[in-house]
Amino acid sequence: MAILGQNATQESLESLREQMGLKDPLWLQYVLFLGNLVRGDLGVSMLNSIPVKNQLLTALPYTLELTLSSMVVGVILGLPLGVVTALRRNRWADYVGRVVSLTGISIPSFYLGILLIFIFSVKLGLFPVMGTSRSGGLFGRIHHLILPAFSMGLILTSYIMRVGRSTMLNILNEDYIRTAKAKGLRGGIVVYKHALPNALIPIILFQ
């Protein structure tokens, strides 16, 4: 009735049930579904009568593009912030960073996306509200991608920041870090050459 409408006749409802295979036993429907899934047949969309596989293949490049760009935003922002908050433990930078990361984890991505659209698209007119650029070249694609990437990437930043901070705090207490400091190595070398590479392992696994 959701597909055909409230005024659909009983004959049309029965015909649609037959067409969709809903009259078969549930176990048979499941077996047929698994068989079609193995062959790559995901059926036809009830909304637009287009094969689901074709729609997935059409959306896949944009999904991967958005996923990778949000990961780049998360790593570029989250990793330095995690290192800074770990090095400034229990100072104002650490307190501010923890509040920011907790806020980023708490806010839903769809709500953050709406806020970004409202501020930067509706009010300021800096970015498009929706869609993607098919003919604007690389700059057009990036221009359409910035808000969605930041909507997901800022939340990912909070997670990476927290993981990076806790990992760096543990590593900075390791014996080899104390040995490097005792040898007179500068703080920057100790952090970025000895501590940071090991801190990247949990972040990469988290990704």
Residue 176: which CATH number? Answer: 1.10.3720.10
Residue 47, domain member (yes or no): no
Q: What is the pLDDT of residue 136?
A: 58
Helix (H, G, I), strand (E, B) or coil at 106: helix
List Cβ neighbours of 157 (8 Å cut-off, separation of 6 or more): 73, 74, 77, 78, 81, 101, 104
Asked, for residue 2, whether it belongs to a domain, the answer is yes
Separation CA 29–CA 15 (nearest Å): 17
Q: Are residues 24 and 87 in the same domain?
A: no
* Residue 22 sits in the same domain as residue 66: no
How far apart CA 121 and CA 118 sit, in angstroms, is: 6
Per-residue pLDDT tens over the stretch 125-178: 888 877 776 665 777 778 888 888 888 888 888 888 888 888 888 887 777 777
Residue 53 inside a domain? The answer is no
Range of 26's domain?
A: 1-41
Residues 86 and 176 in one domain: yes
Q: Can you tell me whether residue 184 is helix, strand or coil?
A: coil
- The answer on pLDDT for 74 being more than 70 is yes
Whether 192 maps to a domain, the answer reads yes
Q: Does 32 lie in the same domain as 83?
A: no
Q: For residues 79 and 159, is the Cβ–Cβ distance under 8 A?
A: no
Q: Do 131 and 94 fall within a single domain?
A: yes
Q: How many domains does the chain contain in total? A: 2
Q: Indicate if the pLDDT at residue 207 is higher than 70.
A: no
